[in-house]
Structure 1
Amino acid sequence: MAKIAFLGLGVMGFPMAGHLQAAGHDVTVFNRTTAKAEAWVAAHGGTMGTTPHKATDGAEFVMTCVGNDDDLRSVCTGEDGAFAGMSKSATLVDHTTVSAKVTSELYAAAKDQGLGFLDAPISGGQAGAENGVLSIMCGGDKPVYDAAEPIMHIYSKICRRIGASGAGQLTKMSNQIAIAGLVQGLSEALHFAERAGLDGGAVVEVISQGAAGSWQMDNRYETMLGDHFDHGFAVDWMRKDLGICLVTASENGASLPVTALVDQFYKDVQKLGGGRWDTSSLLKRLRAFD
């Protein structure tokens, strides 16, 4: 089995690293909040490193799942970074959703050091991570991907190389663009049904079986109707992701009018104090106007 380091034990990384350990791999973890790493070792076994450098020493594969561009740079580079602890021919697989710019920087830095680097952002939310059924979209060199795919398969239902370095992050942007419009549409449909005096659950039971059906509808309508918004990806993180989408669109000429609008709707949710609510809280914004 492989020697693996996993850097970043948030709501996604914690269970993902657990799946690797349960599959029999030798896993060493790192988290900036040491208590989380200690809790992971207590729950799953394995070991912890006090720095990314120490955690990645001797690892064949290094997985990262952190917050943003700056977080990723900090765990990868510098004297205490992952690159400093990795041996030649080792591979870093980045599961963070970040900009194509930082992906390009780190891919080049890894290549110069003789390391493999894959951008491999994930979709499926906390439940997908806990159940090992994430969707993983990858960019990078094909031989590097082919070697790492069996490791990623442990916590995914689909893992696919889309193209060269950066293609994974661009695919994740497409994913977030699609989600933004879907959640707004679902929120408006549920809000309309409520205002019309209809039973929202009955409405969804019918329309979900037709062309309006979606993952968001199947998995979020009950919590949305119940005014519960702590079941998934936080608004603060979604705004980070949509910001990346909009900047990239300005560079490649894509037109994203709905995405730009929904980004501002999420800004309204933040003003309501909902930065940590999940993305389905767009419905709560509509209810605030009642």
Structure 2
Amino acid sequence: MKRIALFLLTNIAVVAVLGITANLLGVNRFLTSNGLNLGALLGFAFIMGFGGAIISLLMSKPMAKMSMGVRIINQPSNADEAWIVQTVHNFALKAGIGMPEVGIYEGEPNAFATGAFKNSALVAVSTGLLQGMTREEVEAVIGHEVAHVANGDMVTMTLIQGVMNTFVVFLSRLIGYAVDSFLRKGDDRESSGPGIGYYVSTIVLDILLGFVAAIIVAWFSRQREFRADAGAADMMGSSLPMQHALARLGGMHPGEMPKNMAAMGIAGSIGKLFSTHPPIEERIAALQSRGN
């Protein structure tokens, strides 16, 4: 709950800073003269930016179960399931968090953690991961996912996404009004509301600024992966199992995950600016620099 409260307070602070800055720069007078209320724009940016992000966070666990076909292990039916549950339990104790729900889903090698609250999260592993790795490597992957939960990464990424969304919504409409005002300069219909210049500019800027925001969010996600790798190494008392798990993943085809969950997996696409995960080689090198 503390992280959710921090999330809301940060969002409110961002909107307040935007409002104060706009007033100091005289943007409020410009907007008012062109038929737009700054308070209304800030409220709209807040709802569109943070509203969608917080709803996505709160729905993350049930959506993950449904979209990935996760089978929750309420009562282990075999020795492997009992081992998985016990491994998650051990890591949760070490990390100082509540016991997450534990699940298995059919698919290529991957695993993920999600949930709005770190004391009631979900950790799930794929059948491909269990079949393609040794127990020590699977243990390292589970430790990585529990570290994500302990670090509050789900809330952190939602916060960053919400901030970026708010800036995109606010700036695209602010610039759109400026462009429209310039294009309609001297037009007697200036007071009749925004024209085509505003709508075209807003659509284009939503796309362009959205790409910039995605690059920033992806960068933060990559840093988060390094921290989770290190967290797994700390909980296991050695970085070697995590290195071996990553090396094994490097030779596999990681399972594809829904776009809204891509950042939650152990492995992701190796794109450049938009990749949610660093290259495997960089992650292994970071662990090696820590020593064994």
TM range (shorter): under 0.3
Q: Determine which structure has the larger helix proportion and give its number.
A: 2
TM-score, normalized by length of structure 1? 0.24
TM-score, normalized by length of structure 2? 0.24
Q: Determine which structure has the larger strand proportion and give its number.
A: 1
Structure scoring higher RCO (CA < 8 A, sep ≥ 6) equals 2
